[in-house]
Amino acid sequence: MEAQGLPAALALVAGGGAGLSPEKRAALGVSLPLLQRDYHFDRVWFWGCIQGVRGVYYIAEGLRPDRAAPRTRLYSLNCLDWSLLTPATKEMLAQAEELKGRFQGDPSHEYNLADLSVEVAERLFGGGKEPVVKEEARLIATIELIDRAVGIVPRGAFVKTPLGPVYENRHFEGLSLAEAKKLSSYFHFTEPVNLKNKTLLEKANLDPSTDFLDSLEHDIPHGSWSVQLEKGGAVVVLRSLLWLGLTFYHVPMTKQYGYLYFGTGEKNLDLPFML
């Protein structure tokens, strides 16, 4: 969420207990516009924070005009000084999925995968490499995993041009209340997977300019999203039960929407047994 819209966004997701102190809000209001200026971003969003044992990682994302392009991510320990994160690699993602437990809040902290499983360490670190993962690499991978799994947008909020780039839809005026309560009205804002498996007959009823992403209605496990009406029915809130702490909000018939993450960066692996 952008700096100017952050106070309103925090108020809309506060039902889940998430929030920032006035000091942190003020710091973000100053530092995020500076990030946009210094890195020449088209926009800067506050993504949320990951709570560690000894510290908190505050995350921001820089966006280019093509919204489908890879995002530039930065983190801060105080909401003022920001450090650039490298793009996530397949190796980082595989290593992060093997790590369990809380973040420490120290980017230089090292995890030894050999202490967890010798077989996993040999599989992920072939060639005699030391099976050590820094927490900064785990942070990079965790943000990427969360964005891929539960980073969502309303249907019609973005349009895909015939040449490929994706832009914000200037004509998007929000979903109706009836549509906003349906999971099929929300898309994962990442490379589609299920869409490629649809038949030609199913694709015939889709608009290629807006229906170019995977919807939430077929997410596995079924029931991994909680849809609620708040503020007297004026706000639709979706909460992920797979990545606890991810809250998406949308005010029907307006352009107000977004998501924030306030959690420990741990995936809820017990969810299939809880449904």
For residues 179 and 159, membership in a common domain is answered with yes
Output the CA angle 220-224-227, nearest 5 degrees. Answer: 135
Domain, as residue range, for 214: 152-259
For residues 80 and 90, membership in a common domain is answered with no
Each residue's pLDDT tens digit, 188-204: 998 887 766 676 666 66
Confidence grade of residue 231 (pLDDT, cut at 50, 70, 90): confident
Domain finish residue from 85, 108, 132: 85
Residue 200 domain-assigned (yes or no): yes
pLDDT of residue 197: 67
- Tally of structural domains, the chain: 3
* Cα–Cα distance, 89 to 71 (Å, whole number): 14
pLDDT of residue 10: 86
Question: What is the distance, to the nearest Å, from the Cα of residue 253 to the centroid of all Cα atoms in its chain?
Answer: 23
pLDDT of residue 204: 66
pTM of the model: 0.90
38 contact partners, CB below 8 Å, separation of at least 6: none
* Cα–Cα distance, 74 to 72 (Å, whole number): 7
Mean pLDDT of the region 107-123: 79
Domain finish residue from 35, 57, 85: 85
Residue 85 carries which DSSP code? Answer: P
Given a cut of 80, is residue 207 above it in pLDDT?
no
Residue 270 domain-assigned (yes or no): no
Residue type, 203: K
Residue 264 domain-assigned (yes or no): no
For residues 36 and 13, membership in a common domain is answered with yes
Residue 122 domain-assigned (yes or no): yes
For residues 253 and 160, membership in a common domain is answered with yes
Mean pLDDT (the chain, rounded): 88
Domain finish residue from 150, 183, 199: 150
The structure tokens 């017990």 sit at 270
pLDDT of residue 193: 78
Given a cut of 70, is residue 147 above it in pLDDT?
yes
